[in-house]
Structure 1
């Protein structure tokens, strides 16, 4: 019997994030070891023991290179790192960015732009590359939802919150990054627009009509009345429009009209996801 040709398995979503963080850690460690190699071993150990920043840097490099408990899983493509590790890396990288910017800025002020450019050339651009690498770690470890919005799979991402709807059981699961906020009855949830300027009402289209060819198979609901569509424009005080997911359960004493989450609409994707969630909840 003929065997099928074996193909190489595709990498799980999130593997690229792990690879990038480890590569940044190896680059920082290599440069740090190169700097330490220019001193004697005794001098280097004495300087490390007397420098709190060196201890912080060692912990940061250890976490960045080894990434304990990090694992790429398809169910959480944007969060291969555990929450504690992501927050620790973000904190250490932010401190490293501030230290690098302060060091470079102080050197430029004291030595002048000409000597600073000579130092950049002498270090092969490391004075500029180091802050960029720290900033890259801060950006990679920024707050993100578990997944991207996929209307066909009834998964929505608004800010750092992720919402999953099961049409068979009519249940909704809400996640704040990797933390599960709760599980709710979809018929008891509603979307409300807060501080949204220039709100206008439009007919509520089906997901397939509203989002083009997103692959919404089986979207058979007809337009339902009116849906408010907020603008991304800031208010006169610079406040972004926000969306709220509210839970109104008559059977839950003390929990009536509870706000599940409140998120600012910072991108067009957030606005589209909020409108898609509103339309889907109206069709349940």
Structure 2
């Protein structure tokens, strides 16, 4: 039987994220030690011990280079890092970005634009590269779902939430980034459009091709009657708010859990809107 092995040409999803973060950590460390090399060892150690910001940078670079607990796994392509590491890197990178922008802005305000351009040239562009590197780390560590939306595989991604549905057992698993929110009966879940214009239509049911999973894993298409669902646009409201959806759990057998909100997410992209509509349509089949 042929077996599939992970090679360098076929790396697991998420390996690129790990490589990018480590490369940024090495660049920051090289620049840091280059700056420290201009001072004597005792002076550098004294300056580092007396500067809380230097200690924060050392911890940040250590986490970036070694990435403890990071592992590229195909089941979670967007989350090769542990949740605590992702949040720590995002916090340190955000603080570094603010400090870098404040330092560069204060220097430009005091020295003027001409001297600032000379300083950029003298540092080989490091005054601009440092804030950019911090911003890249913040962007990489932003809240993400576990996977992309794949309607055929019954996987949906809305905001930072991921939903997987097993049509054989009729169970739904919900994830908030890498944290498992819970497992539910698909017949007890429903999507409620929390804002925007009227989003559900009661028009005549139409036959829509749907994917049906067989016992042996085969897939086929059949016409399944479903009511059309009108979704709101992505336009912001008068107060700048995005349309939102809620995934509701209504379990008559679970006392105290009637009409409980599993998650509430804003539809910020077209992909979120399409995934929410597909999830709503899929749940209506049960």
Fold-level similarity (TM above 0.5): yes
Question: Structure 2 vs 1, CA of residues 11 and 32 (structure 1 numbering), >3 Å: closer, same or farther?
Answer: same
1:43-192 matches, cutoff 5 A: 43-192=43-192
**Whole-angstrom distance in 2 between the partners of 1:59 and 1:248:** 46
| TM-fit CA distance, 1:7 | 8.8
| TM-fit CA distance, 1:228 | 2.9
**Aligned match of 1:212:** none
**Whole-angstrom distance in 1 between the partners of 2:82 and 2:45:** 32
How many residues align structurally?
A: 275
| TM-fit CA distance, 1:198 | 6.4
CA deviations over 1:117-162 (Å, ceiling 9, x no partner): 0000011100000000000000000000000000111000000000
**Whole-angstrom distance in 1 between the partners of 2:221 and 2:247:** 23
| TM-fit CA distance, 1:197 | 3.5
User: Aligned with 1:34: secondary structure?
Assistant: helix
| TM-fit CA distance, 1:236 | 1.1
The answer to whether structure 1 residue 235 and structure 2 residue 237 are counterparts is: yes
**Whole-angstrom distance in 2 between the partners of 1:205 and 1:44:** 73
Question: Structure 2 vs 1, CA of residues 84 and 116 (structure 1 numbering), >3 Å: closer, same or farther?
Answer: same
1:244-255 matches, cutoff 5 A: 244-255=246-257
| Contact 2:120–2:126 under 8 Å retained in 1 | yes
**Whole-angstrom distance in 1 between the partners of 2:159 and 2:109:** 39
The answer to whether structure 1 residue 30 and structure 2 residue 33 are counterparts is: no
| TM-fit CA distance, 1:220 | 2.3
CA deviations over 1:178-234 (Å, ceiling 9, x no partner): 00000000001000101124647476774769xxxxxx9424242312313121111
**Aligned match of 2:269:** 267
User: Aligned with 1:162: secondary structure?
Assistant: strand
**Whole-angstrom distance in 2 between the partners of 1:250 and 1:155:** 26
| TM-fit CA distance, 1:252 | 0.8
User: Aligned with 1:168: secondary structure?
Assistant: coil
**Aligned match of 1:213:** none
From 249, 257, 260, the equivalent of 2:259 is 257
| Contact 1:197–1:233 under 8 Å retained in 2 | no
| Contact 2:209–2:222 under 8 Å retained in 1 | no
**Whole-angstrom distance in 1 between the partners of 2:253 and 2:170:** 17
What stretches of structure 1 of length at least 5 have no aligned partner? 210-215
| Contact 2:210–2:224 under 8 Å retained in 1 | no
| Contact 1:232–1:268 under 8 Å retained in 2 | yes
**Whole-angstrom distance in 2 between the partners of 1:184 and 1:174:** 8
What stretches of structure 2 of length at least 5 have no aligned partner? 212-217
**Aligned match of 2:214:** none
| TM-fit CA distance, 1:63 | 0.4
